[in-house]
Chain A
Amino acid sequence: MASRYFWWNATKKFFTIGLVGITVRDRFGSIVPERGNSMSPTFNPRTNTYGDDYVLVEKFCLEKYKFSHGDVVVFWSPSNHNEKYIKRIIGLPGDWVATPYSSDVIKVPVGHCWVEGDNPSSSMDSRSFGPIPLGLINGRVTHIVWPPQRIGEIERTVSGDRISSL
Chain B
Amino acid sequence: MNVRSMKQWSSLVKEALDGTFLVAKFLCLLHVTNTYLCTVAVTYGPSMLPTLSLTGDLVLAERITPRLGKVGIGDVVLVRSPENPRKVVTKRVVGVEGDRVTYFVDPKNSDRCQTILVPKGHIWIEGDNIYASRDSRNFGAVPYGLLHGKLFWRVWPPKDFGPLGK
Q: Is B145 an interface residue (CB 8 A)?
A: yes
> A24 — nearest CB in chain B belongs to which residue?
B28
Identify which of B27, B29, B32, B82 gathers the most chain A CB atoms within 10 Å of its CB.
B82
Question: Chain B nearest CB: distance from A16 CB in Å?
Answer: 6
Contact status A78-B121, CB under 8 Å: yes
Complex Cα distance, B152 from A77, in Å, reads 27
Partner of B28, one of A20, A77, A110, A134: A20
**A-B pairs under 8 A by CB, number:** 76
**A136 and B28 contact, Cβ closer than 8 Å, known pairs A81-B69, A81-B121:** no
Contact with A along B8-39 (1 / 0, CB 8 A): 00000000000000001101110110011000
Smallest Cβ-Cβ distance to B31: which chain A residue: A23
Q: Which residues of the partner chain B approach A20 to less than 8 Å between Cβ atoms?
A: 24-25, 28
Closest to A137 in B: B85
Closest residue to B121 on the A side, CB-wise? A79
Closest-CB distance, B80 to chain A (whole angstroms): 4
The one of B119, B121, B146 that contacts A77, using a Cβ cutoff of 8 Å: B121
Contact B32 A22 (CB under 8 A): yes
Mark out the residues of chain A between 74 and 127 whose CB falls within 8 Å of any chain B CB in the assembled complex. Answer: 75-82, 109-112
Residues in B with CB closer than 8 Å to A70 are none
Whether B86 lies near A136 (C-beta < 8 A) is no
State whether B146 touches A133 (Cβ < 8 A): yes
Q: Give B142's nearest chain A residue, CB to CB.
A: A133
- Give the residue among A19, A26, A76 with the most B Cβ atoms within 10 A: A19
Instruction: For A136, list chain B residues within 8 Å (CB).
Output: 143, 145-146
- The count of chain A contact residues (Cβ–Cβ below 8 Å) is 27
Residue A8 lies at the interface, judged by CB distance under 8 Å to chain B: no
How many angstroms from the CA of A159 to the CA of B69 in the assembled complex?
38
The reply to whether A19 and B25 contact each other, CB–CB distance below 8 Å, is yes
| Residues on A with beta carbons closer than 8 Å to the beta carbon of B142 | 133
B100 close to A (CB within 8 Å): no
Assess whether B143 is in contact with A26, with CB atoms less than 8 Å apart.
no
Q: Do B85 and A134 have beta carbons less than 8 Å apart?
A: yes
A65 and B86 form a contact (CB under 8 A): yes
A64 to B85: give the CA distance in the assembly, Å: 9
With A26-B35, A136-B143, A136-B146 as contacts: A19 and B29 at CB distance below 8 Å: yes
| Residue B81 is within 8 A (CB to CB) of chain A in the complex | yes
- Does A150 sit at the interface, judged by CB under 8 A? no
User: Are the CB atoms of B29 and A81 closer together than 8 Å?
Assistant: no
Complex Cα distance A64/B87, Å?
Answer: 11
A147 on interface, CB distance cutoff 8 Å: no
Q: Give the docked Cα–Cα distance between A111 and B147 (Å).
A: 16
- B31 contacts A133, CB within 8 Å? no
Does B143 contact A111, Cβ atoms closer than 8 Å? no
Interchain Cβ contacts under 8 Å between A and B, 14 examples: A19-B25, A19-B28, A77-B121, A78-B122, A78-B143, A79-B119, A79-B121, A109-B83, A111-B84, A111-B85, A132-B143, A133-B143, A133-B146, A135-B82
- Give 10 nearest A-B pairs by CB, closest first: A76-B145, A135-B80, A79-B121, A133-B82, A78-B143, A135-B85, A134-B85, A81-B144, A111-B83, A81-B145
